[in-house]
């Protein structure tokens, strides 16, 4: 032992981070996954090698820091569930995420019991198996320039995985704590589950209150976004511990509320994302420093069982969920493969377990050693499965801006019904205001602009297609929504009912681009294949698939690369 004396959390934290960053740097030079470097550095400074900190329990010493770090990641995970973006895909994303998460947890839990692990520990392992790696998935999507409905589904499922992992881990962790503390024998299993469930409701209420307060302080009091959100995470973690509720769930619900409260709320929730790489360094290094080599043999068998059961659960569960959601084969057979990588947040959860004095040290050693091995394997082999899935989905290399890219799945309404032209226009404006989060004043201004333009001359361009348009005084590019009506909407006296409506919203200075879009829409109408596919669409997915298909290329041509700024500042 080199260092001794009074425990100092900041000293231990700095030592762990410095060692981890050096280990990651050396791993990168050797062209190895950086997670291996982090873990090796922790192993070197831990009791298995140099034992720099002696008998000090690093996990216990860093417990407050670990909780805040996990709180930051929980807020970030919650921020990925934006209803405005996912409302048209909730059925598909929900079916796949629930299917693969439930199957993964069930198979891992049963497999762990099969090799002799007790029920509380098996439940915790099953909960941790739900997590998928957002960092690895996003990196591969960017490297392969992949874009499309498969990518959208995959990224959304990964985000839901993190949320489900935190939810079921919070319940499993509480059951494990009660079991090892002896409280479970006094309360009984049903009471334990009820108490754990009540924590979910309390965490939900706390997350909503903190989210509301954050929005008010940023918009009204003009607090600095990064500083305020970080302080709010600190407060949420602290008040959760004080009230006896799970801080992971409180922070997760906090992130969900922020991203759905307003358009700017998404930026509030993502303010702390630059901290995430540093947090993963700390988690892997701290976990490596807590390794005990005498647990490797026992953990090795459990690691193999965990890997096989988790992969089978992810693939088969996603396949079943996709079948329920009636996803096309190109998506259904590959989304499960793409979920193989596992996130470093699983290691963060293990570090949290290590700080619990009620859980036996041997149990923690086996879990930590097993998960380090499993995550290392998943981070080496998992990206290969994700790469293969992205290639086979047909969406690799498609991340180039097209003239019709503003019509994504979340901007499409199918079915869409209205009795009159003006009712249809108002409904379109309402849909646009929802998906683009317009204020009441902007919504009223847009509606007045669209109705005035339609009164001047009809925007019915023939063959059952109308392109109403209006203007807004803010924004950086053309945006819009598309709707398909099965019965048709009467636009002109005695004319053919309109079944496809595209509302275009043009900001100042975009007249030339507006003409390009109108020209592309005219070509779309003249394309019999595209026209028939749009008229026969049964869901927003069908329309989005048509707009991104091979047939769309004659009119939806690529644009020159330019800054990908949001439609509205």
Higher pLDDT, 401 or 443: 443
Here the tokens at position 98 are 């629930």
Mean pLDDT of 427-437: 86
User: Does the pLDDT value for residue 159 go beyond 70?
Assistant: yes
Alpha-carbon dihedral of residues 169, 175, 179, 180, nearest 10 degrees? Answer: 30
Cβ-based burial of 426 (10 A; exposed 0-12, middle 13-18, buried ≥19): middle
Asked if residue 400 has pLDDT above 60, the reply is no
pLDDT-based confidence at 296, cuts 50/70/90? low
Report the candidate in 454, 532, 457 with the shortest Cα–Cα distance to residue 500.
532
95 confidence band (pLDDT: 50, 70, 90): very high
Q: What average pLDDT is seen over the chain?
A: 78
pLDDT tens digits along 2-52: 544 445 667 777 888 888 889 888 887 887 767 678 878 887 887 767 777
51-60, pLDDT tens digit by residue?
A: 777 666 666 6
pLDDT value at residue 321: 92
CB neighbour class for 370 (10 Å; exposed up to 12, middle 13-18, buried from 19): buried
> Is the alpha carbon torsion for 193, 258, 507, 514 positive or negative?
negative
CATH class entry, domain 9-392: mainly alpha
- Give how far Cα 42 sits from Cα of 63, 209, 275, 347, Å: 17, 38, 20, 13
Distances 366 to 89, 287, 300, 304, 528 between C-alpha atoms, Å: 39, 12, 9, 13, 63
pLDDT value for 177: 77
What pLDDT shows up at residue 552?
55
Tell me how long the chain is. 569
d(CA 40, CA 132): 22
d(CA 557, CA 550): 11
Contact indicator for 72, 233 with CB cutoff of 8 Å: yes
Residue 293: per-residue pLDDT: 60
Total-model pTM: 0.70
- Return the bridge partners of 504, or none: 469, 480
Identify the CATH class of 409-552: alpha beta
pLDDT in tens, 221-257: 677 778 888 888 888 888 887 887 777 778 888 888 8
The pLDDT assigned to 106 comes to 95
Write down the domain spans for the chain. Answer: 9-392, 409-552
Q: Which residue has the higher pLDDT, 545 or 452?
A: 452
- Summarize pLDDT for 454-479 with one digit per residue, the tens: 888 888 888 888 888 888 877 667 88
- Residue 205 pLDDT > 80: yes
Q: Which of 185, 371, 407 is nearest to 283 (CA)?
A: 371
More confident residue, 267 or 363: 363
* Cα 244 to Cα 260: distance, rounded to the nearest angstrom: 27
- CA dist., res. 58 & res. 456, Å (int): 73
Measured N-to-C along each axis, helices 9-29 and 34-45 cross at an angle, to the nearest 10 degrees, of 130
User: For residue 162, what are its two tokens?
Assistant: 């993190």
Question: Interior CA angle at 132 toward 105 and 113, to 5°?
Answer: 25
Report how far residue 132's alpha carbon sits from residue 344's, in angstroms, rounded to the nearest whole number.
Answer: 9
* Per-residue pLDDT at 395: 78
Among 313, 244, 248, 285, smallest CA distance to 69 is for 248
Degrees (nearest 5) of the Cα angle 74, 77, 82? 130
Alpha-carbon distance of 42 to 21, in angstroms, equals: 10
Q: How many CB atoms lie within 10 A of CB 139?
A: 14
Separation between Cα atoms, residue 402 and residue 435, nearest integer Å:
20
Pick from 283-287, 294-298, 446-450 the range whose average pLDDT is largest: 446-450
């Amino acid at each position: 032992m080199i260092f001794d004396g009074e425990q100092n959390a900041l000293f231990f934290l700095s030592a762990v981070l410095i060692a981890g960053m050096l280990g990651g740097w050396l791993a990168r030079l050797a062209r190895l996954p950086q997670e291996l470097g982090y873990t090796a550095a922790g192993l070197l400074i831990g009791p298995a090698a140099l034992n720099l900190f002696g008998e000090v329990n690093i996990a216990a010493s860093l417990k407050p820091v670990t909780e805040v770090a996990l709180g930051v990641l929980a807020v970030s995970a919650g921020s990925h569930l934006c209803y405005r973006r996912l409302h048209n895909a909730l059925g598909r994303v929900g079916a796949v995420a629930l299917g693969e998460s439930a199957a993964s947890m069930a198979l891992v839990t049963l497999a762990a019991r099969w090799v002799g692990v007790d029920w509380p520990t098996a439940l915790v392992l099953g909960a941790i198996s739900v997590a998928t790696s957002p960092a690895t998935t996003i990196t591969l999507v960017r490297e392969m320039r992949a874009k499309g409905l498969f990518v959208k589904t995959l990224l959304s499922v990964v985000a839901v995985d993190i949320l489900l992992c935190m939810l079921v881990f919070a319940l499993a962790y509480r059951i494990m704590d009660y079991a090892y503390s002896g409280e479970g024998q006094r309360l009984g299993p049903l009471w334990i589950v009820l108490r754990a469930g009540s924590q979910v409701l309390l965490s939900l209420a706390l997350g909503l209150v903190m989210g509301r307060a954050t929005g008010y302080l940023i918009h009204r009091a003009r607090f600095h976004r990064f500083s305020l959100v970080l302080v709010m995470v600190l407060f949420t973690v602290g008040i959760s511990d004080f009230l006896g509720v799970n801080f992971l769930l409180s922070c997760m619900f906090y992130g969900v509320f922020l991203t759905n409260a307003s358009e700017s709320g998404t930026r509030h929730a993502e303010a702390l994302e630059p901290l995430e790489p540093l947090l993963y360094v700390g988690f892997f290094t701290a976990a490596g420093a807590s390794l005990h080599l005498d647990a490797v043999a026992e953990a090795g068998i459990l690691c193999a069982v965990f890997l096989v059961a988790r992969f089978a659960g992810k693939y088969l569960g996603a396949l079943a969920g996709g079948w329920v959601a009636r996803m096309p084969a190109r998506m259904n057979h590959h989304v499960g493969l793409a979920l193989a990588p596992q996130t470093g947040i699983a290691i963060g959860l293990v570090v949290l377990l290590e700080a619990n004095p009620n859980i036996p040290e041997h149990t923690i050693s086996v879990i930590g050693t097993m998960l380090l091995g499993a995550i290392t394997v998943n981070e080496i082999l998992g990206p290969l499965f994700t790469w293969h899935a992205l290639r086979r989905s047909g969406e690799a290399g498609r991340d180039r801006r097209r003239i019709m890219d503003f019509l994504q799945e979340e901007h499409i309404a199918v079915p869409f019904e209205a009795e009159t032209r003006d009712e249809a226009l108002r409904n379109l404006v309402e849909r646009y205001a929802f998906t683009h989060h317009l204020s009441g004043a902007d919504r009223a201004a847009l509606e007045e602009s669209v109705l005035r333009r339609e009164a001047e001359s009809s925007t019915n361009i023939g063959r059952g297609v109308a392109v109403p348009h209006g203007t807004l005084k803010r924004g950086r590019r053309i945006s819009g929504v598309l709707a398909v009506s099965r019965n048709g909407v009467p636009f002109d006296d005695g004319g053919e009912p309109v079944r496809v409506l595209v509302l275009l919203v043009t900001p100042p200075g975009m007249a030339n681009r507006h003409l390009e879009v109108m020209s592309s829409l005219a070509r779309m109408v003249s394309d019999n294949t595209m026209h028939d596919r749009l008229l026969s669409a049964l869901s927003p997915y069908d329309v989005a698939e048509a707009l991104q298909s091979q047939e769309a290329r004659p009119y939806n041509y690529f644009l020159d690369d330019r800054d990908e700024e949001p439609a509205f500042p």
